[in-house]
Amino acid sequence: MRARFIVVLSTLLLMGAGSVPGAAQEKNPRLKALEQARYTLVEGVLRAVRALPGTVIKAEAEVEKKKGGGYKVVYQVFLMKEGKVFLVEVNGNTGKVEEKRELKRRREKGREEEERERGEREEKGEEEEEERGEKEEKGEEEEERGERVERGTLKEVGYSTSFENARPGGIPKGWIPAETNSAGTPGTWKVVRMKGPRGGEKVMALTRTVNRGHTFNLLLTKRVFPADLTLSVMIKAGTGDEDQGGGLVWRALDADNYYITRWNPLEDNFRLYKVVRGRRSMLTGVRLKVNPRKWHRITVKTKGRRITVFFDGKKYLQAEDSTFTRPGRVGLWTKADAASYFDDFQVSW
Q: Is the pLDDT of residue 4 over 70?
A: no
Q: List the one residue out of 56, 63, 66, 53 whose CA is nearest residue 8.
A: 56
Instruction: Work out the pLDDT band at 24, boundaries 50, 70, 90.
Output: very low
What is the number of structural domains in the chain? 2
Q: Which stretch of 12-26, 64-78, 273-287 has the lowest confidence by average pLDDT? A: 12-26
Percent of the chain past pLDDT 90, that is, above it, reads 51
Mean pLDDT over the full length of the chain: 82
Q: Is the pLDDT of residue 348 over 70?
A: yes
Phi, psi for 155 (deg, rounded to 5) = -90, 175
- Cβ proximity of 206 and 192 under 8 Å: no
> Does residue 232 sit within a domain?
yes
Question: What's residue 211's pLDDT?
Answer: 86
Q: Is the pLDDT of residue 130 over 90?
A: no
For residues 204 and 277, what is the distance between their CA atoms, to the nearest angstrom?
27
> Does residue 197 sit within a domain?
yes
Question: What's residue 119's pLDDT?
Answer: 62
Residues 255 and 341 in one domain: yes
Question: What's residue 11's pLDDT?
Answer: 40
* Residue range(s) defining the domain that contains residue 175: 154-348
The three-class DSSP label of residue 133 is helix
> Does residue 76 sit within a domain?
yes
Question: What's residue 308's pLDDT?
Answer: 99
> Does residue 122 sit within a domain?
no
Average pLDDT over residues 288-316: 97
Residue-wise pLDDT tens digits, 30-55: 788 888 888 888 888 889 888 898 88
Query: In this structure, is the dihedral angle defined by the CA atoms of residues 118, 122, 123 and 124, taken in order, positive or negative?
Result: positive
Q: List the one residue out of 83, 88, 84 whose CA is nearest residue 99.
A: 88
Domain endpoint, select from 71, 86, 104: 104
Residues 341 and 276 in one domain: yes
Task: Please report, for the domain that includes residue 178, its CATH number.
Answer: 2.60.120.560
> Does residue 226 sit within a domain?
yes
> Does residue 143 sit within a domain?
no
